[in-house]
Amino acid sequence: MTEVLLLGRRAVREVIRYPEATIPTLFIPLFFLVVNIGQVSKTFPSSTPFLKGQGYVAFQLPVSLMFAVATATSGLALVTEIDVGYFDKLLVAPIRRSSIIFGRLTADLVRGIAASAFVLIAGIALGARVQSGVAGALVIVLLSALFGVAYAGFGILIALRTRNVQATQSSFLLFFPLLFLTPNFVPFNRLSSLMETLARINPVSYVIVGLRSLVIDGWDAGKLAVCLLVILAMGLILTVLSLRAIATYDR
């Protein structure tokens, strides 16, 4: 645990030391939030049934939260260390290899909490009301950050398997189809048959639906349970694959 905390603290310091790598990850979700509201808010006024009296910003906010936390930051940091040779030094150090992974994921949790809190506050400033209250807002931040940690495992896995910066960067680009094949603009029942089918088999859909329920509906135990289950399953699978990759990593 001490090794994880030390490596996690080092990774957090990297984030603070290089804000130019973090600012774009906050600009993109806010940009999409403002643009989507501006384009669609008149089409879906607050009287629209699925908005339940709120503006369209409330419906779009969970999508922006996903953008904010699903980054390739840890993967890129890891592949950079591989390129400069520092990763090899970590491998021969008297620490468990798993600590390298968990240290990175710890930093992703901290970064995810900060990023999701920032985007949530921005969404509230733009008019969203969190119907589940302050406790619900805290749950939104925590679930968003946990999703970011789960997705970070994908970037780490790509970094360890390919050892290539361009390939690792693509792990973020691959998130775009996952995000857009969801009920991100309208609910499931307003999608075409094909899009609805694709959205329903996409696990990211249920994370968005769970977060959205906290903003628009209040507390919905069923949707939140599915949301948490998807995040945990995704995190477990990608973390196990990353741990296997680093365990078999050959310098």
Would you state the pLDDT for residue 226? 96
Would you state the pLDDT for residue 103? 87
Distance CA 130, CA 132 (A): 5
Entry pTM: 0.90
Task: For residue 30, give its domain range.
Answer: 2-247
Distance CA 124, CA 129 (A): 6
| Total number of domains constituting the chain | 1
Distance CA 54, CA 112 (A): 26
pLDDT tens per residue, range 170-224: 777 788 888 888 998 889 989 999 999 999 999 999 999 999 999 999 999 999 9
**Nearest of 61, 177, 181 to residue 122 by alpha carbon:** 61
